[in-house]
Structure 1
Amino acid sequence: MIRFVFAIALACLFAASFQPNRAQAQDLQSLLQTHHDEVERPGRRSVGVVLDDLVASGFPETATFLENWQGKQVYLRDADGLFFYVTDDGADGFTLTDISTGQTLGTEAQNAMSQIKPNGGVRRAIGTALVQFQLSDPDIARRTAAVDAIARTMSADQLAPLRGAIENEPDAELKKIKQRLANMLAAGFGETPEERIAAIDGLSGDVSVDIRAVLNQILTVERTAATSRPDGANVAQTLTVGDQLSESEAYQLLVDLELAPALIPQDTLKQTLAQHIEGGFVGGLPVAQMFTDDARAAAYSALAADGLVTPLVTAQDQKRALETHVFLDVYTEPNAAITNAARAALTKIETRVKFSQMADLTLDGLSLASIYFLAAIGLAITFGVMGVINMAHGEFIMMGAYTGYVVQQIIPNYTASLIVALPLAFVVTFAAGVAMERLVIRHLYHRPLETLLATFGISVALQQLAKNIFGTQARPLTSPGWLDGALVFNDVIQISYIRIAIFVLALLFLGLLLFILKRTRLGLEVRAVTQNPRMASSMGINPDRINMLTFGLGSGIAGIAGVAIGLYAKVTSEMGADYIVQSFMTVVVGGVGNVWGTLAGAGMIGGLQKVIEWLNPSNTLAAQTYMILFIILFIQFRPKGIVALKGRAAGD
């Protein structure tokens, strides 16, 4: 019995002597002392043992130590070899902080302390170990920073700690990001081909740029050449010389791979010949004959035959070398199943990207169409009912934008100021439109040339008046905070909230105008005057009053459009000029005096402009030119627009 107990005790003692150092350590300082030399003078290869023990120790202060070690904030006291954090007390001394307890331990002279300075490779290794702690840190900001750090420098050793931090992640959004990043890491660094292929398949539904970067990394190829197609190589494609690869590129590849001798440039050939001139001859030929390429080549060949220089590579030599080699793009990833999965996933993603680009282009076109609709609808009403070519319509847009700016100076709350600015801009520009119609336009009915010149003069005068009041500098019309940012569907499809708001505003105005024209007495009278003013007058309708109200209504709508446009465009005295041409094009293409025609015209012009800009993104001026040419051709075949108006306009 005694022998049995003694044997057990001896076995326990023997086993304890072989436990890792971290089991013997009672605190962080003790653990570091077992790796004293590695901590003091860390190397990229030796630091791994220290980091493994630190991670496995479970000490809560380990993360803080790693951060300080990585940041060169750990010091060694030369007298006893203990490690501390220090702060400069300003009197040639350091205040010491215990790395295990965080308690202040007094001061020490600076010359008694040595700073630990890990090199870049060691700091990167420490950072990798530190991420394991940061991924589960109670502070979400630190967890997010750790995830961002992994995303920036993805490596195989980050996969296991990231997966371990997913299950207990309390934040749902960050948990999704961790899962997505883990799939990206598994696609590139999974332990088995099956695991990597499964991760690649899981990425195929995401069109993000970083996902495509991961797949493209897997599909990285190296261009090479060989006398025959190498067995077991994961070949992406065999290159045809003269088609995918020029002859000069192919031969240079052979030279780079040391499969063929390098070509000798003419300058080098001339210098070599000059070095071998003897008695007025070189290679047995007179120097006086060295004025042609053929003569220099003959002399050089003679020197090569005597073994004095490297032989010249002839065209036949190049051709023979190209014919006896195959040229290949070989995947750096040796497993064909993995590259096939990555190629299939990337093809699927690229297809989704194309559809997403089409959807994004459609959204851009609708957004621009809504802006053109708001800018043109007032002009369509006045032009359709009155036949007045109002060149000052853009200035009513400008007046509305400046009204919004003035309101924001009085009401600093951007939401409240916007609510006030929209109806106020309508009132201001409605009054200005009525005044313009009463003072100028009513005297110029049925005189289109005089009307055009008069309204152009008013346009110039209003621009100058705005410059005198507000100056020539652009003024800010700030949108409310809830309109900041954009609605993002994916990395390809997104639209700003301001443009969404303008689109909704255009729909509201479409509904409002249709209600006024179809359901109110004013609308009935407007339509009556539009279709047959003489008959409307005989029925007791005052065409003069209707013209005044219609012109004021069109001007008021332009003012509201100015507030909407000013939220994302510059507010200047010339801003109306940027939209007057598009407004007239919208009205003419859509059909004069018709709400639905204006909507159709705005949709056509907005969509056409975005398509042309997409096809030729580097030249927006060309896009405008092509669009105008298209509209000129369009009105040749349909002069009354997409939706032709019946009645007086049809007769005109």
Structure 2
Amino acid sequence: MLRLLLACLSLCMVLVFGQPAQAQTLQDVLQNNVEAVAKPSRRTVDDVIAALVASSATGIPDFLEGWREKEIWQRDADGVFFRAVEDGDGLILTDLDTAEVTTVADDDGFTQSKPNAGVRRVISSALVQFLLSDPDITRRQSALDAIGRDPSGDQLAPLRASLEGEPDADILARKQQLERQLTAQFDEDPAARIAAINDLSGDVSVEVRGVISQVLATRQFVAVDVPEGTNLARILEVGEDLSADDAYQQLVEADLAPATVSLDDVVATLTAQISDGQVAGVDVSTLDTDAARIAAYETLVASGDAPAIVLPDERAAALSAHTFYLAYTEDNADITAAAEEAQSAIAGYLGAGQTIDLTMDALSLASIYFLAAIGLAITFGVMGVINMAHGEFIMMGAYTGYVVQQVVPNYTLSIIIALPVAFAVTFAAGVAMERLVIRHLYHRPLETLLATFGIAIVLQQLAKNIFGTQARPLTSPDWLAGAWVVNDVIQISYIRIAIFVLALLFLGLILFILKRTRLGLEVRAVTQNPGMAASMGINPDRINMLTFGLGSGIAGIAGVAIGLYAKVTSEMGADYIVQSFMTVVVGGVGNVWGTLAGASLIGFTQKGIEFFNPSNTLAAQTYMILFVILFIQFRPKGIVALKGRAAGD
């Protein structure tokens, strides 16, 4: 290790002050260490690496890669080394200096260098150091990834030396991050370690949390008194921090108390001592109770033929006479104190980050529920129709997007086309459903519910007949792939961001239609007082038809958006119909702002429940339904109660 450290320092000198005036070829360096290269061992590998570092030879990383992979062969005739791969019975040889490739038909006359696992680990570490300044950016990135996976103290010096002159900003930032982590763990200067730990206190990445945890690693000890100079983490209380059995077992393992003797041990000891049908002067036939066996065992203890039974009082006294404690593996108390402060700061940032991440997830879920429910809110609010086929309109929109993508392979263009096409398809389906079925069932909610439920089943089966039962892909464009990553805690997929933006656009569009257009004025008039609206020349029958079509069309657009991240199947609508009705009822029937409020309440509440029970989303949905049932008991008209007809009803 000392040789390797010197080699690293030599590398730093080369990087800082330049290369030696007289350059050696790689083959020259290997010939000067021919035995160590041909038959490497853990004792000699450091000398070879030090010689390579001190030289100005080119091709050292390639040689080290080949050496590690057992691809270095020596020609017996002149001792020259090659990088080679086997080709049948022969070899394909690559000259280490010129990269000239030759082929030999037989590997006779060549000897393979076969470093063992320990030597290969040293070679890998040295290879990382060389690659840190490699002109190829992918090699530098690979070296940094290797350091991140397996950090060690000998990587610190070359990592620092490679910082100056690093041309790529992202690679430089990664090097600086790793340098701080390695300094916090391995630097010999305590002040430098403390400074690095303080620098890391605002970083919530998994790597940094791992570094701080390693600095604060502890071991459990027991002693009569805590030894002076121990970097104490905390005292353990028997019965609270560890059980009495575990504590006493620790005393036994530390040779501070005799081992306990169980009834099984008593029986085993007595059995081993049986002679002529007796043990401890007692006939074996009389040892048919635990008390008799213990009495015989005590006789063996008195004669020195068995260990003593530890009485409860003796055990309690032994526990009270010793101190159980955790001590840091790091001896320097200042370093662990800095690490504890950093860990506390990271915990605060982590809590804030988790809150932000949970809020973003809740907003995303609320936007999905809003898109799924806004069409239902319009039809249910204006017409009072319980449309159980609303989820199937969402499914129709998703399948429409899938069909468009089969015709238009450009995913961006296909999504742009799919949105209005899905609206048109589901608008037409909604109008047809209203004209053929719904208009004959007004003011008959039970018959309407049953009819729309039957239509939902028919639409599901129709989708199965056309598209099959397998999930169909609705592929998002490349610019929606991946996620917006702030740090290791805060991240959200671009598709969910797009759905959130789409929900905001629809909110604005629907408000514009309802507040700024004649259709919106007529819809609001029919919603608040259909009789008065009819007396003013408005045709409620026409408004109901257009309103039902509008709600169905919006459901189709929601299906395209939802299909970008969820599975597109014939049953996908059933996954959202319950949430859609809950959103409408909780928010307030027939009110856009109420639907938004209901979606937000349900989205945030469900994510909050999932936070406490993340492994069971079904339980979260169950609790959510119970919450909605309780909520409507106290506010039956929802968060935003509708004025007018709803108030009269």
- After TM superposition, the score normalised by the length of structure 2 is 0.94
Q: Residue 61 of structure 1: CA displacement? A: 2.5
Alignment of 1:231-246 (within 5 A): 231-246=228-243
CA distance in 2, matches of 1:561, 1:209: 36
Q: Residue 294 of structure 1: CA displacement? A: 3.2
Q: 1:339 to 1:378 in 2, by over 3 A?
A: same
CA contact (8 A) 1:27 1:100 kept: yes
Q: 1:404 to 1:106 in 2, by over 3 A?
A: closer
Match of residue 38 from structure 2? 40
Alignment of 1:103-142 (within 5 A): 103=100, 107=104, 110-142=107-139
CA distance in 1, matches of 2:390, 2:211: 53
Match 2:191 to one of 174, 181, 194: 194
Match of residue 306 from structure 1? 303
Match of residue 53 from structure 1? 51
Counterpart check, 1:373 vs 2:379: no
Match 1:436 to one of 430, 433, 436: 433
Q: Residue 637 of structure 1: CA displacement? A: 0.9
Q: Residue 107 of structure 1: CA displacement? A: 4.8
Q: 1:25 to 1:114 in 2, by over 3 A?
A: farther
CA contact (8 A) 1:25 1:31 kept: no
Q: Residue 623 of structure 1: CA displacement? A: 1.4
Q: 1:537 to 1:108 in 2, by over 3 A?
A: closer
CA distance in 2, matches of 1:376, 1:105: 71
Match 1:536 to one of 521, 533, 536: 533
Higher mean alpha-carbon deviation, 253-262 vs 452-461, is at 253-262
Match of residue 176 from structure 1? 173
Q: How many percent identity over aligned positions? A: 67
Amino acid at match of 1:274: T
Q: Which runs of 5+ in 2 are unaligned?
A: 1-19
CA contact (8 A) 2:212 2:343 kept: yes
Structure 1, residues 550-596: CA drift from partner, whole Å, max 9, x if none? 11111110110111111111111111111111111111110000000
Amino acid at match of 2:553: G
Q: 1:464 to 1:108 in 2, by over 3 A?
A: closer
Q: Residue 619 of structure 1: CA displacement? A: 2.3
Amino acid at match of 1:546: I
Alignment of 1:364-443 (within 5 A): 364-443=361-440
* Count of residues paired in the alignment: 630
Alignment of 1:493-572 (within 5 A): 493-572=490-569
CA distance in 2, matches of 1:577, 1:266: 62
Q: 1:390 to 1:98 in 2, by over 3 A?
A: closer
CA distance in 2, matches of 1:25, 1:628: 77
Q: Secondary structure at the match of 1:204?
A: helix
Higher mean alpha-carbon deviation, 573-582 vs 276-285, is at 276-285
CA distance in 1, matches of 2:254, 2:179: 38
Match of residue 458 from structure 1? 455
CA distance in 2, matches of 1:431, 1:539: 28
Match 1:270 to one of 267, 270, 281: 267
Q: 1:106 to 1:352 in 2, by over 3 A?
A: closer
Match of residue 10 from structure 1? none
Q: Which runs of 5+ in 1 are unaligned?
A: 1-21
Structure 1, residues 302-356: CA drift from partner, whole Å, max 9, x if none? 1122122333333333223212211110110000111111111011111111111
CA contact (8 A) 1:381 1:554 kept: yes
Q: Residue 25 of structure 1: CA displacement? A: 8.3
For the pair shown, which has the larger CA radius of gyration, 1 or 2? Answer: 1
Counterpart check, 1:218 vs 2:207: no
- After TM superposition, the score normalised by the length of structure 1 is 0.93
Match of residue 628 from structure 1? 625
CA contact (8 A) 1:366 1:607 kept: yes
Match of residue 229 from structure 1? 226
Find runs of 4+ consecutive structure 1 residues off by over 6 angstroms. Answer: 22-25
Match 1:70 to one of 68, 71, 94: 68
Higher mean alpha-carbon deviation, 640-649 vs 126-135, is at 126-135
CA distance in 2, matches of 1:25, 1:644: 86
Q: Residue 386 of structure 1: CA displacement? A: 1.0
Amino acid at match of 2:544: N
CA distance in 1, matches of 2:464, 2:276: 86
Match 2:29 to one of 28, 31, 37: 31
CA contact (8 A) 2:58 2:97 kept: no
Q: Residue 24 of structure 1: CA displacement? A: 9.0
Q: 1:631 to 1:89 in 2, by over 3 A?
A: closer
Q: Residue 96 of structure 1: CA displacement? A: 4.8
Structure 1, residues 147-194: CA drift from partner, whole Å, max 9, x if none? 111111100000111111122111111111111011110000012110
Structure 1, residues 217-253: CA drift from partner, whole Å, max 9, x if none? 1111110111111100101001111121211111111
Q: Residue 277 of structure 1: CA displacement? A: 1.5
CA distance in 1, matches of 2:556, 2:28: 77
Q: Residue 103 of structure 1: CA displacement? A: 3.8
CA distance in 2, matches of 1:439, 1:422: 26
Q: Secondary structure at the match of 1:352?
A: helix
Q: 1:238 to 1:87 in 2, by over 3 A?
A: closer
Higher mean alpha-carbon deviation, 71-80 vs 235-244, is at 71-80
Amino acid at match of 1:165: S
Q: 1:359 to 1:100 in 2, by over 3 A?
A: same
Higher mean alpha-carbon deviation, 424-433 vs 55-64, is at 55-64
Q: Residue 104 of structure 1: CA displacement? A: 5.3
Q: Residue 620 of structure 1: CA displacement? A: 2.1
Q: Secondary structure at the match of 2:202?
A: coil
CA contact (8 A) 1:370 1:506 kept: yes
Q: Secondary structure at the match of 2:230?
A: coil
Match of residue 478 from structure 1? 475
Higher mean alpha-carbon deviation, 227-236 vs 623-632, is at 623-632
CA contact (8 A) 2:25 2:56 kept: no
